[in-house]
Structure 1
Amino acid sequence: MTVKPEWLRVKAPQWERVGNVKEILRDLQLNTVCEEASCPNIGECFSAGTATFLIMGPACTRACPYCDIDFEKKPQALDPTEPLRLAEAVKRLNLKHVVITSVNRDDLADGGAGQFESCIQAVRALSPHTTIEVLIPDLCANWQALETILDAAPEVLNHNTETIPRLYRRVRPQGDYQRSLEVLARSRAHRPKVYTKSGIMVGLGETDEEVRQTMRDLRSADCDIITIGQYLQPSAKHLGVAEFITPAQFDAWRVYGEEIGFLQVVSTPLTRSSYHAEEVQKLMVKYPRG
């Protein structure tokens, strides 16, 4: 594994606060993408009392070579108590904004859309003032399932494109670039008031122009928010890093994204899809959708 440059070093977390979040998660038997996907920002986010909840896991039905989530375990039956436990965690942590994501559950007819719906409803019941962001898989192009999630009225619908088209077969072999764009376009068409969001990783061998073209493709799908972050290799068995992108290049992409019409561009080496996701509340004030 390649040695990380100085700009990818993270500050030591406040372990007392981290321990409090972990205690709540263990008590309620919940998974977080922060832990399952080895996110480099886990200390900062847990210290701030935030977490991205991972439902229907931890086992995933896809084997993306960049991801540290377990795909070797057999997916279990959905737990009907999970939405209530998640909602209780949101209440205990007093979250103003919550991100709910999932593993891929291609074994389910609706891809897990019903569980997303139940989680949104449970959080609304216990924490009515908390804004909700869902980070969803592509649902195998089950558009009725997508509408089920959208009709539960989350404030933000996030679906990551992950990489540029040329690298899809290597990086995301069970995904489809055009299908991911369609998830976002259909979301906007079905629920125009819901903010749409997507994210990509860089440092896998893409060119500057390929990143910019992907950004243009996302804007063509009427995507509101984009996150761009450095890919970091979770272990020696995962895809290697082709290049560490400089902070200056990330800033150039941020400027370009704003120029082509994104409402919000979060582009730094340590950016992850749900990093500082609560900042979307400022966007909602600036660009209200009713």
Structure 2
Amino acid sequence: MQESSLEKPDWLKIRPPKTDKFQYVRNIINELGLNTICTSSKCPNYFECWDGGTVTFMILGNVCTRHCRFCSVIHGKRGEKVDPTEPERLAEAVKRLGLNYAVITSVSRDDLDDHGSQHYVDCIKTIRSSLPGVRIEVVIPDFGGRADLLLKVINAGPDVITHNLETVESLTPVIRDRRAGYYKSLDLLKNVKRFEPGIVTKSSVLLGLGENIEEIKETIKHLHESRVNILTMGQYLKPGKDCYPVQTYVSPDVFQSLKDFADSLDFSYVASGPFVRSSYRSAGYFFEEVLRKGIRGM
């Protein structure tokens, strides 16, 4: 699909960092040899997040074995060698940054027998043992649809499990890798609650890929039926020249309307706006909203 001659609206201006905190975060990430989804995916919020002292770590290397058209992370048939020291370096970064809420995502690792699930477990347990007061959110791939691998991660005891649906059903074969699936992702989210109802679940949808309003509402309903607690919706912004073209810039008013619709379904929390992403201000969602109000939408 050819990119239309869309001009970015005023509400999509990115603000540069304002304090020395940004450089401090970058220095720690570089010193400890860690990857972040913030930089690997060219997230538009990473200046703001790092300036505020927060970061989303990306484990299992910097090469993804899937090729989703909305994502600029490097992809290949095989990922990088799994580094057994990464959990300790990750915990050290969480400690140095003074985080009370750690967000961990990863590349997909279809080349590994366990899809990287044990490494997730090792990272969770290492942070838990050295920093027991830290809340942990893991943003996980689908692990090839294997419920046994999902259960391993659940049993490690994260506070939040996030798996992103990314787009509506009709666009899933176009936007996501062929090994992904709309209902495969919904089934994973359902299985989290089936195995452990007390874990908070979250999912995210990108808008502006060519979906219509009714499709978005249907997707929101499907996520609610899958007992997802937290829903985030944001504007897709093409992160690289080979990525899928933006089809529409969704106005803040439409984002608010969709939030109102989702709120009517009684999710625990809904974040909806042009710059919202899955991990954007995650600690705020969890501490200020979910813990205060309790888990709903179940």
Scaled by the length of structure 2, the TM-score of the pair is 0.94
* Larger deviation, residues 67-76 vs 257-266: 67-76
Give runs of ≥4 in structure 1 deviating > 2 Å.
none
Query: Shift of residue 74 of structure 1?
Result: 4.1
Q: Distance in 2 between matches of 1:247 and 1:17?
A: 29
Q: Which amino acid aligns with 2:108?
A: N
Query: Shift of residue 3 of structure 1?
Result: 2.8
Q: Distance in 2 between matches of 1:80 and 1:142?
A: 23
Aligned 1:192-231 pairs, distance under 5 A = 192-231=197-236
1:273 pairs, out of 269, 273, 278, with 278
Aligned 1:106-255 pairs, distance under 5 A = 106-174=110-178, 175-255=180-260
SS of corresponding position for 2:20: helix
Q: Which residue matches 1:99? A: 103
Q: Does 1:34 align with 2:41?
A: no
Q: Distance in 2 between matches of 1:117 and 1:73?
A: 24
Query: Shift of residue 12 of structure 1?
Result: 1.6
Q: Which runs of 5+ in 1 are unaligned?
A: none
Q: Distance in 2 between matches of 1:83 and 1:17?
A: 24
1:79 pairs, out of 73, 83, 99, with 83
Q: Which residue matches 1:287? A: 294
Aligned 1:62-77 pairs, distance under 5 A = 62-72=66-76, 74-77=78-81
Q: Distance in 1 between matches of 2:78 and 2:185?
A: 25
CA gap of 1:233–1:288, structure 2 versus 1, over 3 A, is closer
SS of corresponding position for 1:99: strand
Q: Which residue matches 1:52? A: 56
Q: Distance in 1 between matches of 2:267 and 2:60?
A: 31
Q: Distance in 2 between matches of 1:138 and 1:72?
A: 18
Q: Distance in 2 between matches of 1:276 and 1:103?
A: 21
Q: Which runs of 5+ in 2 are unaligned?
A: none
SS of corresponding position for 2:171: helix
Tell me, yes or no, if the aligned pair for 2:135 and 2:158 is still in contact at 8 Å. Answer: yes
**Alignment RMSD:** 1.3
Query: Shift of residue 288 of structure 1?
Result: 5.8
Scaled by the length of structure 1, the TM-score of the pair is 0.97
CA gap of 1:74–1:109, structure 2 versus 1, over 3 A, is closer
Tell me, yes or no, if the aligned pair for 1:67 and 1:238 is still in contact at 8 Å. Answer: yes
Q: Which amino acid aligns with 2:239?
A: P
Query: Shift of residue 173 of structure 1?
Result: 3.1
SS of corresponding position for 2:232: strand
Q: Which residue matches 1:264? A: 269
Q: How many residues align?
A: 289
Q: Distance in 1 between matches of 2:92 and 2:120?
A: 15
Tell me, yes or no, if the aligned pair for 2:78 and 2:111 is still in contact at 8 Å. Answer: no
Query: Shift of residue 128 of structure 1?
Result: 1.1
Q: Distance in 2 between matches of 1:127 and 1:245?
A: 40
SS of corresponding position for 1:198: strand
Tell me, yes or no, if the aligned pair for 2:207 and 2:233 is still in contact at 8 Å. Answer: yes
Tell me, yes or no, if the aligned pair for 2:229 and 2:295 is still in contact at 8 Å. Answer: no
Q: Distance in 1 between matches of 2:181 and 2:55?
A: 28
Q: Does 1:89 align with 2:96?
A: no
Among the aligned pairs, what percent are the same residue? 38
